[in-house]
Chain A
Amino acid sequence: MKLHPHQRANLLFGGLTGGAALSILVVLGLIAWDVLSNGLPQLSWEFISKAPRDGMTAGGIFPAIFGTVALVMIMTLAVVPVGVLTAIYLHEYARQDGLPARLVRGAVYNLAGVPSIVFGLFGLGFFIQFVGGGIDRIFYGGDVVYGQPAIIWASLTLAILTLPVVIVATEEALRTVPREHREAALALGCTRFEALLRVTLPQALPGIMTGAILAVARGAGETAPILFTGAAYFLPHLPTRPHDQFMNLGYHVYVLATQSPDIEATKPILYGTVLVLMLVTVMLNVVAMTVRSRLRADRA
């Protein structure tokens, strides 16, 4: 069959670009397949409910799961109120072209681009040395209690890292609320704050939840910022106080993969941990993406 030169060009270039797209998907698929096929046999009730044994070559990863959950819960408590209020300021209160709004927007944008290891340095210099050290000097007579790596400092560091995620998602959610609804509330005699609380926020809630879920997914997957702000390789006890250290899934993967004396013996545990971490982060992302595309479809 003879092809028109145009058809040939379209096939060639379409094939080349399509091939590039396909190869990205293939790599993604390979990673998923490798982790699933090696990790699934490892998953069991014992694996997710027991502590590691025998120098990390047996047992489970419960402390790492617990530590990660506690970490992102404290982080969420800190980041969601601040992020939502900032987005409310940007979208509901600030003059759009005014200097304050431009400054806040610029700061949010830059915050999103700061490398995660720099957040780790910041957590160390600001939270641990400055804030924690200050608390120790004032309340503990110089004994080191809060002036050392701890779950509270790691959580707050992650809260700053995930702040842009919450702000951007909340602003998008506020944008979907029709202006007329706010105006109707104000015309009926609501104050601005009441209109916000009773009319705007309830409608924006699903979008805000999406932002919170994305922040949790991001926080659960970050390792670099917690390397020296509170994550520990192995702990005999679960963290119960804000100044305790904690185990973490991402840090567990890092340590098992790089510092194990016998990599073949730790490999099954390693793959199991990676699978759990992937399941958590990917599933949260999928949930957030589904909610978001539903919301967008509703608006259209």
Chain B
Amino acid sequence: MDHSGLGPPTPSQPGPPVGLAAPLRPVSRATAGRKRVDAIAKWVIAAVAFSAIAAVVLIFAFVVREALPLFFSPEVREEVTPESMLFAQAWKEGSVPSYSWQPVSVVPKYSLAPLLVGTFKVTLIALLFAVPLAVLAAVYSAEFAPRKVREVLKPAIELLAGVPSVVLGFFALIVLATFLQNVFGFTYRLNGVVAGMALGLAIIPVVYTVSEDALVAVPRSYREAALALGASRARTAWSVVLPAASPGIFAAIVLGFGRAMGETMIVLMASGNAAVLSWNLTSSVRTIPATIAAEMGEVVVGGAHWSVLFFLGALLFAVTLTFNTVGSWYVARVRRKLGGMTE
């Protein structure tokens, strides 16, 4: 908001008055001091505000900086290069090329494939578990729930967002893993399904909240038109409101995906953390964030392993940033679109 037109009538220029803007009385020393404080405050506030931009830039710069030796340092490149991280390597003379993540062995192996597949698997399970539950719950709360129920449901799910992820990880590790193994007879107690389900719990709030916002934003007139044409409330919700809100729900899923990919403590505690390249959902998996968390404590500062872990961090940063940007762009678009139609 710009209040500059509403300022006090005394001009701030101490110099000789020009034309009609001459002051009615001379500016006292006290007023000049207040003016100076006001001007300083303005600059201090603006300067501090740019710290948010500085933070994002610094995060990117410093995470990438530590990953650069992978590209430019001959010592590090003797052990690992971006190419050797991407493609299958023959780890011994004459052996079949394979993907392997074993950073602390005689021949350190840094294939990203097992970690990428692991991250993708766990994220997928989390989405499969969380999206139907969260979207249906959002439909209930926007279309069917009585006001009283809605007033309990919304804060309760928001409260789930306030549960620390280390607590969800603990719950998955101690309670959920045993329960699921008893029911399904998993070979490994800690596996992708256990971690994925706990991760799903962590993203239910964001998927629910964004979906619900999108559903509520659908103009009343849509519903009234459908009901007037003789559609049931269920039909209206399914065939009219849901499609109209679909970009917002898509955004919710994208935001949930970004959140799930970057979540650390839950997968670190509940996934078993074995870096095996397998599409089996019930095998033990290791994700990118969990790898960083588990291995950063023991690496040599500035070594090859250190650089690889920072490279993984930069990758994670870039991918989640992309997902968040796409998600927010869709949220803004659906708001503009539906908002424009009600006018």
Residues of A at the B interface (CB closer than 8 Å) are 5-7, 9-10, 12-14, 16-21, 23-25, 27-28, 31, 34-35, 81-82, 85-86, 88-96, 100, 103-104, 107-111, 113-122, 124-126, 129-130, 160, 163, 167, 179, 182-183, 186-187, 189-196, 217, 220-224, 227-228, 250-251, 253-254, 257-258, 267, 270, 274, 277-278, 281-282, 284-286, 289, 293
A295 to chain B, nearest CB (A): 15
8 A Cβ contacts from B192-209 to A: 201, 204, 208
CB-based contact B48/A85 at 8 Å: yes
Determine if B201 and A27 form an interchain contact, defined as CB atoms under 8 angstroms apart. yes
Q: At the interface, is chain B mostly helix, strand, loop or mixed?
A: helix
Contacts of B158 on A, CB cut-off 8 Å? 285, 289
Q: Which residues of B contact A179 (CB under 8 A)?
A: 1
Supply 13 A–B pairs (Cβ within 8 Å), ascending by A.
A21-B136, A86-B48, A89-B49, A111-B52, A111-B56, A121-B313, A126-B59, A129-B66, A254-B268, A257-B174, A274-B170, A282-B159, A289-B155
Question: Which of the 9-residue segments B17-25, B103-111, B234-242, B334-342 touches chain A?
Answer: B234-242
**B258 to chain A: which residues have CB within 8 Å?**
113
Alpha-carbon distance A110/B53, docked complex (angstroms): 10
Which B residues are closer than 8 A to A by beta carbons?
A: 1-3, 6-8, 34-35, 37-38, 41-42, 44-46, 48-53, 55-56, 58-59, 62-63, 65-66, 132-134, 136-137, 139-141, 143-145, 153, 155-160, 162-171, 173-175, 201, 204, 208, 232-235, 237-238, 258-259, 261-265, 268-269, 289, 292-293, 296-297, 301, 309-310, 313, 316-317, 320-321, 323-325, 328
A85-B49, A91-B1, A96-B1 given; A114·B317 CB < 8 A: yes
Q: Which of B37, B52, B153, B325 has the most CB of A within 10 A?
A: B52
Q: Are B163 and A107 in contact (CB under 8 A)?
A: no
A195 nearest in chain B by CB position: B3
Task: Select which of A24, A122, A228 is within 8 A of B63 by beta carbon.
Answer: A122
Interchain nearest-CB distance for B324 vs A (Å): 4
Q: Determine which of B63, B153, B170 lies in contact with A118 in the assembled complex, contact meaning CB atoms within 8 Å.
A: B63
Tell me which residues across on chain A come within 8 A of B268, comparing CB atoms.
Answer: 254, 258
Name the residue on B nearest A283 (C-beta). Answer: B162
Is A125 a contact of B289 with CB atoms below 8 Å? Answer: no
Is B160 a contact of A126 with CB atoms below 8 Å? no
B45 touches A88 (CB 8 A): yes
Q: Which residue of B lies closest to A284 (CB)?
A: B162
Are A16 and B3 within 8 A (Cβ)?
Answer: no
Establish whether residues A125 and B65, one from each chain, have CB atoms under 8 Å apart when the complex forms.
yes
Distance A95 CA – B50 CA, assembled complex (angstroms): 14
Chain A hits for B62, CB < 8 A: 122, 125-126, 130
Report A-chain residues with C-beta under 8 Å of the C-beta of B259.
113
B137 touches A17 (CB 8 A): yes
Please give, as numbers and ranges, the residues of chain B lying within 8 Å of A253 by CB-CB distance: 166-167, 170
Q: B59 touches which one: A19, A90, A119, A190 (CB < 8 A)?
A: A119
In the complex formed, the residue of A with least CB distance to B41 is: A193
Give the distance in Å from the alpha carbon of A282 to the alpha carbon of B167 in the complex: 12
Q: Taking CB as reference atom, which chain A residue is nearest B294?
A: A227
A282 CB contact (under 8 Å) in B132, B163, B316, B324: B163
CA distance A17 to B35 in the complex (A): 60
Interface centre among A14, A96, A267 (most CB of B within 10 A): A14
Give the interface SS of chain A, mostly helix, strand, loop or mixed: helix
Question: Cβ of A120 and Cβ of B44 under 8 Å apart?
Answer: no
Cα A227 to Cα B265 with chains together (Å): 10
Q: Which residues of the other chain, A, contact B167 by a CB distance below 8 angstroms?
A: 31, 35, 221, 253, 274, 277-278
Task: Please indicate the chain A residues that have their CB under 8 angstroms from the CB of B136 in the complex.
Answer: 16-17, 19-21
CA distance A96 to B265 in the complex (A): 38
Given A89-B45, A257-B174: A192 touches B3 (CB 8 Å cut-off) = yes
In the complex the two chains form, is B316's CB within 8 Å of A118's CB? yes
A224-B51 contact in complex given A28-B160, A191-B37, C-beta closer than 8 Å: no
Of the candidates B53, B134, B159, which one forms a contact with A28 in the assembled complex, judged by CB atoms under 8 Å apart? B159
Q: Is the CB of B137 within 8 A of A189?
A: no
Docked pose: A298 CA to B62 CA in angstroms: 45
Residues of A close to B35: CB separation below 8 A: 191
Max count, chain A CB within 10 A of own CB: residue among B155, B167, B263: B167
Contact A115 B238, beta carbon cutoff 8 Å: no
Task: Report whether B325 and A281 are in contact in the complex, using a CB–CB cutoff of 8 Å.
Answer: no
Beta-carbon contact of A34 and B164 below 8 Å: no
The reply to whether B164 and A222 form a contact with Cβ atoms under 8 Å apart is yes
CB neighbours (8 Å) of B50 from chain A are 100, 104
Q: 6 nearest interchain CB pairs?
A: A115-B262, A221-B164, A89-B49, A20-B136, A17-B140, A113-B324
Tell me the nearest residue of chain A to B150, going by C-beta: A21
Q: Are A18 and B145 in contact (CB under 8 A)?
A: yes
B8 and chain A: residue at smallest CB distance: A189
Which of B6, B163, B166, B263 touches A183 (beta carbons < 8 Å)?
B6
The answer to whether residues A281 and B164 also contact, given A13-B237, A34-B171, A114-B59 and a CB cut-off of 8 A, is yes
Pair B321/A24 contact, Cβ less than 8 Å: no
Complex contacts, B159 vs chain A, CB 8 Å: 28, 282, 285-286, 289
User: Knowing A10-B234, A86-B51 touch, does A25 contact B156 (C-beta < 8 A)?
Assistant: yes
Given A17-B139, A221-B166, CB of A121 within 8 Å of CB of B292: yes
- Which chain A residue lies CB-closest to B55? A160
Residues of B within 8 A of A9 (CB): 232, 234-235
Rounded to whole Å, the gap between the CB of B135 and the closest CB of chain A is 8
